[in-house]
Amino acid sequence: MITVDRLTKHYTVPVKQPGLRGTLTHLLQRQYRTITAVNEVSFAIESGEIVGFLGPNGAGKTTALKMLTGLIHPSGGQVQVAGYVPFRREPGFLRTITLVMGQKQQLLWDLPTMDSLRINAAVYGLSDRELRQRVGELAEMLALERQLSQPVRKLSLGERMKAELLAALLHHPKVLFLDEPTLGLDVNAQSSVRDFLREYNQHFKATVLLTSHYMADITALCRRVLMIYKGQLIYDGSLDALLERFSPCREVTVELTAGYPASDLEPYGDLQSVDGHIAHFIVPQETLTQTISKLLANFEIVDLTVTDPPIEDVIRRVFEAGTV
């Protein structure tokens, strides 16, 4: 559904030195430098996949999305989305895709949501029957039926994001480009949006490319991730494989029947803390089974849990390394 081959984007920006002399030079003899926002990125996404697109701020994610949706022209490389070349902006392509940016809005602020949806329906040539059917279907999935008659400015942030999604999906696009769709939402609203996107993907077999700084969005929706760093693709593969590779340790929490001094517990792993009867360890994956066996043999244990380190720590470790 999406094919990207050595996609590249360069920007030429003016350079200005500080002070009066720098201002005069900038006015009379302007100098420029070239910034590479995306550098020969290649990947392919199959129909129906939900793929996470990760990277720190300034890595090139949004620039790549804008090229995939035809908003900006690439400096080099080739890209096809659903058989179309995006920057040609053909009507068939525009009916096939949608772009949702969490920090942007398309709904008219002072009008009821339904009025904006009627405008979108007219843009995409939907009949009144199609409009009613699709609004009813999507509004039910989003639990948004009662809010459609309210002015957009009266909606909560979560309700407004749901309304934006409804407007963006009214034409039933085959490809969804989502840039921080849960930005600024509370935990409940984030979960609701994630559930809707999962249901929409399953119901319509849509292809989704999702960028988010909330790792809960990625872990809940994406089995595969693309990671971009300084404009270059550094990883394309399974999220589980990435976590396994960059998470060589596990967190072990033990609840004991009695309190023990730290000196008695330190031989069993990297002891993080002791709080009464509860001790926290960091244990290398290769010695995990052996360590748990020793703990069970040498202490009376009420409860023992093994968890992965937070995914945010793993992703941060990857970006600090700058390579995979």
Q: Specify the fold of 249-307.
A: Alpha-Beta Plaits (3.30.70)
Taking only the tens place, the pLDDT of each residue in 189-241 is 888 889 999 999 999 999 999 998 888 899 899 999 999 999 999 999 998 88
d(CA 207, CA 197): 11
Q: Which fold has domain 45-243?
A: Rossmann fold (3.40.50)
The pLDDT tens digits for 279-317 are 988 888 888 889 999 999 999 889 999 887 777 777 777
177 sits in which H/E element: strand 175-179
Nearest in space to 196 (alpha carbons), one of 213, 211, 182:
182
The domain limits of the chain are 45-243, 249-307
pTM assigned to the model: 0.79
Give the three-state DSSP class for 318: helix
What angle (nearest 5°) sits at the alpha carbon of residue 194, between those of residues 190 and 200? 145
Contact partners, residue 126, CB within 8 Å, separation at least 6:
134, 170, 171
Residues in the chain, overall count: 324
Angle at 215 between CA 211 and CA 221, to 5 degrees: 70
Q: Do domains 45-243 and 249-307 have the same CATH topology?
A: no
